[in-house]
Chains A and B, each alone.
Chain A
Amino acid sequence: MNRYAKSLFTIATFTTLAYSGAYKIPEQSLSAVALSAAHVAHTTGADSAYYNPANMAFLDRDTSYLEGGITAVYLPSIDFDGMQYLDGGLLPAGASSRKEWAVIPYDHFVYKAEGDWRWGVSITSPVGLSKRWNSSVQRAFAEEFTLTSVEINPSLSYRLSDNLALAAGLRFIYSEGEVRSDASKLGLPFKRVMKGNVVTAAYNLALSYRPMPDLELAATFRSKAELEEKGEANLYVGGAGRHFGASVTIPMPATLNIAVAKTFMDTLTMELVYERTYWSSYKRLDFQYDSPIQNILIPLFDDPKDKYWKDSDTWRVGISYNYSDRVTLMCGYSYDETPIPQKTLGYELPDSDAHIFSAGFKIRESDKLSWGVGVLYDYKKSRDVKMGENINAMGGEFDKGGALLLTGGYEYRF
Chain B
Amino acid sequence: MKKMKKLFAVLTAILLGVVLSGCGASVSEADSKSPDGGRVVVDFPSSLLKRSLIEKGVIGAESNTTVFGYRAYLIEYETKDEKGESVTASGLMVVPSESGLDEAGRKKLEYMKAKGFSTVLDGHGTIFADEEAPTVGASMQNVPEGSPTILSSLYGFVTLQPDYIGFGSSVGHQHPYLLEAPTANSMLDFAKAAKEFAEKKGIPLNGQLYITGYSEGGYAALSSAKAYEEGRDESGFSLQMSAPMAGPYLMYHVARGIVELDSIEHPSFIADVAYSYALAYGKSLSQLVQSPYDSMIERLFDGSYEMEEIEAVLPKLISGEGGLLREDVVDSILADDSDFWFNEALKENSPVYWAPKRAMFMLHCLGDDIVPYAISASSVSIMRDSYGAQSVSLIPVEAAISSNPDTSLRLSHTECALPAYAVAASIFANARKKTIGY
Contacts and interface: CB of A to CB of B under 8 A. Distances in A.
Interface in B1-54: 3-4, 6-7, 10-11, 14-15, 18-19, 21-22, 24-31, 40-45, 47-48
B27 A152 contact: no
Contacts of B40: 239-240
Interface stretch (B140-148, B183-191, B321-329): B140-148
B27 A189 contact: no
B99 interface: yes
A212 interface: no
B413 interface: no
A240 B43 contact: yes
Could you say which of B26, B27, B45 has the most chain A C-beta atoms within 10 Å of its C-beta?
A: B27
Contacts of A233: 27
B10 A239 contact: no
A91 B147 CA distance: 33
Contacts of B30: 234-236, 240-243
A292 B25 CA distance: 20
A187 B31 contact: no
A154 B25 contact: no
Interface in A209-248: 229-243
Given A199-B19, A238-B99, A238-B142, A187 B48 contact: yes
B305 to A, nearest CB: 17
B124 interface: no
Contact of A243 (B11, B29, B140, B143): B29
B142 A237 contact: yes
A5 B25 contact: no
B44 A238 contact: yes
B11 A121 contact: yes
Contacts of B26: 195, 231-232
Interface in A278-309: 292, 294-296
Contacts of A236: 30, 142
A296 B27 contact: no
Given A176-B24, A189-B45, A243-B31, A237 B143 contact: yes
Given A232-B27, A234-B27, A237-B143, A189 B44 contact: yes
B71 interface: yes
Interface string A186-222: 0111000111110100000000000000000000000
A165 interface: no
A12 interface: no
A294 B145 CA distance: 13
Contacts of A172: 15
A371 interface: no
A1 interface: yes
A237 B141 contact: yes
A352 to B, nearest CB: 30
A193 B25 CA distance: 11
A111 interface: yes
A238 B138 CA distance: 12
A189 B22 CA distance: 30
Contacts of B24: 176, 178, 195, 197
Contacts of A174: 18-19, 21
Given A152-B11, A237-B143, 13 more contacts: A5-B6, A5-B10, A9-B14, A11-B14, A111-B4, A121-B11, A123-B14, A152-B14, A152-B15, A197-B25, A234-B30, A236-B142, A240-B43
16 contacts: A2-B10, A6-B10, A152-B18, A176-B24, A187-B48, A187-B100, A189-B48, A197-B22, A197-B24, A199-B19, A231-B27, A237-B42, A238-B142, A240-B31, A241-B142, A243-B27
